[in-house]
Structure formats: structure tokens, C-alpha cells
Amino acid sequence: MEIKRKIGSIVPPIIGLVFFIAALIILQRELKQIHYQQIHAYFKQLPFTRLGLSIMFTFLSFLALSLNEALLFIYIRHPLPYGKTGLASFVSTAISHSIGYAFLTGGSLRPQSLG
């Protein structure tokens, strides 16, 4: 029984590492086809209003998510400082949406960052 528990605690991180390495390899292959000059040229031709609006709406989205988290803690009668819930919400949302599988990664990051 002890061996099964040890294997069960070792296998998931190894699987995660394998997927992470595979993602890095795929990303490297894809980025070989794109040059810095192409990205720079694209951003140069992008209207400033479009870029500004995208940044503003991204900020508002993160603000809404962090307010949602703060309201959640108020609802369960365990209010925390907004700075703490806001930071935890921002970090967990940003990482989970960047990594993917937000329902798995975000849920595991929040409790750790809230202490």
C-alpha cells in the first residue's frame, strides 16, 4: 500500500513535466517560423486605439474577476483584505489561462496564494 501511495504522489508531477516539455518543444518549433521583425511590424501597423482598448478591457476583466473573489469571501463570512484576494485572483487567473486547463491549475493556485 505504501508503494502505491509513493507512486501516486510521484506520477502526476512527472506527467505534468512531460507535458510541459512537450509544449516547450512545440512552441520552439512554431516560433522558429516567426521573426522579431514580423511582430514589430504588426504592432506598428496596429491602431493605437485598438491596442489601448485591448489593454483596458484586459485590465477590467482582471478587476472583475478579483472583485468576484473578494465578494466570495464576504459571502462565506470570511472577508480577507482586497489586496490579498486581488493578488491571488490575478496570479491564479493569469497563470491558469496561460498554462491551460484553467479548471485544474487556477483552483490549485488560489488556496496556496491565499495562505
Model confidence at 112: pLDDT above 60: no
Do 104 and 59 share a structural domain?
A: yes
| Confidence class for position 102, pLDDT limits 50, 70, 90 | low
Q: How high is the pLDDT of residue 108?
A: 61
Do 53 and 108 share a structural domain?
A: yes
Determine the structural domain holding residue 8 and report its residue range: 1-33
Do 52 and 14 share a structural domain?
A: no
User: Who wins on pLDDT, 1 or 8?
Assistant: 8
Do 60 and 94 share a structural domain?
A: yes
Here the cell at position 93 is 487567473
Which pTM value belongs to this model? 0.57
Q: How high is the pLDDT of residue 105?
A: 62
Angle at 91 between CA 35 and CA 68, to 5 degrees: 125
pLDDT digits (tens, 9 = 90+) for 16-64: 888 889 989 998 998 888 888 998 898 889 898 998 999 999 899 888 9
Residue 39: inside a domain = no
Share of the chain above pLDDT 90, in %: 17
